[in-house]
Amino acid sequence: MTTGSTTTDASSSKLSLYEGSTQYRHWRFSAEQLAQARASLNATAVSAIGEKFEAGSSSGVSFLSADEEVLLVKFYLAKCSQLCIHLGFPEEVEATAMTYLKRFYLKNTVMDFHPKDIMLTAVFLATKTTNHPVSLESYAQRIPKTQPSDILGHEFLVAQSLGFDFAVWHAHRALWGLWLDVQNLPDVNMDELRNVYESAVQHVRAARLTDVELIYTPSQISLTSFALASPALAAAWARSKIPTEPEPRVLAVIEPIKQMIASQGAPPEVEAVRAVDRRLRLCKNPEKVVGSNAYMKKQEETERKAEEKRKRKAAEVQKAMEDADPFGSPLARDTNLDDDDDDDD
């Protein structure tokens, strides 16, 4: 409501800015919720795709499990990072694209859309949403075997899957703040501090390969990365911020994040990924495989529906013309004609 919405205004309530963000409101889960969401997404996908196979031919197909999907996505998260570095994109683009990729696969299955394709679109979209736009053509040229249409073809799908929540709050930004902050601690050695920061940056980058950003806040992740680099400095910083707590609770909160970064923060084994990818070739949604029978069928179906809609619309226009005054309808009525979405191209 226009006037009644004040209660949700970050300005007029006690919400922090972060709590007003789409990241906090739409993309924050518990570890259990994540596992649950992925399992049910996978189960739905398996049964839906199973039906698309021609009768009987799906019986022998071994579909990917939720964990295998995660593994494949993770491999492309690492690739995504490499691609951005290779193209000289700022870290903001890289981090944003990786977040997009993770969020995308909370709504879609790799059996419908291969992460190697989605990754390219996620990076391209991220260049725009972080205000570092590049021309599509030059971007596509720098990626082997890729046409501009391959990238644009998925742009809408990616934007939709993200729920159009383009803004992302990143741990590396929070870490920068922390780095400025710790320089004010008493008795710090700048050289040592710089080394700690550099190493913390590496931990933040490792954290991007994990699910931590879907569970914890950027500030928690940045403090964890700092603590991984220097537990003493992190503790000193926490105590300086929260002088009332001799053992700040936040240091306990970040323990599980440490575990996750340590255990999941490396790219997956190529061999394991290759095995999954090989199986994916056999179990991917046939409707998405250009040229397959199921693909043709789906295309025909879409075409038929569009045709029906066009006919219906033509009939409506025809009827409107017959009913109308031969000298044209009153001006105001014209505007009613074009309220359908069909005329767009």
Least distance from C-beta 187 to another protein, angstroms?
A: 27
Structure tokens at 124: 């391209």
Nearer to another protein, 111 or 209 (CB): 111
Q: Which of 216, 210, 174 is nearest to 27 (CA)?
A: 216
The residue from 135, 141, 195, 299 that contacts another protein (CB under 8 A) is 135
Give the ranges where 30-114 is alpha helix by DSSP (H). Answer: 31-52, 66-86, 91-104
DSSP 268: P
Nearer to another protein, 240 or 329 (CB): 329
**Is 107 strand, coil or helix?**
coil
Span of 58-66, 128-136, 251-259, 274-282 interacting with another protein by CB under 8 A = 128-136
Does residue 167 interact with another protein by CB under 8 A? Answer: yes
Does residue 330 interact with another protein by CB under 8 A? Answer: no
Nearer to another protein, 85 or 320 (CB): 85
Site for another protein in 228-267 (CB under 8 A): none
Neighbours of 133 (CB within 10 A): 11
Does residue 117 interact with another protein by CB under 8 A? Answer: no
Span of 182-190, 208-216, 263-271, 333-341 interacting with another protein by CB under 8 A = 333-341
Does residue 188 interact with another protein by CB under 8 A? Answer: no
Does residue 338 interact with another protein by CB under 8 A? Answer: yes
Does residue 183 interact with another protein by CB under 8 A? Answer: no
C-beta of residue 97 within 8 angstroms of C-beta of residue 170: no
Structure tokens at 244: 């009332």
The residue from 10, 262, 314, 321 that contacts another protein (CB under 8 A) is 10
CA dihedral 87, 88, 89, 91 (to 10 degrees): 130
Residues in the chain: 345
C-alpha to C-alpha distance for 216 and 60, rounded to whole angstroms: 40
**Range 107-117 burial, b when 16+ CB lie within 10 A, else e:** ebbbbebbbee
- Positions touching another protein (CB under 8 A) are 1-3, 5-6, 8-12, 17, 20-22, 41, 44, 85, 88-91, 94, 107-108, 112, 124-125, 127-129, 131-137, 148, 151-152, 155-157, 159-161, 163-167, 332, 335-336, 338-339, 341-342, 344-345
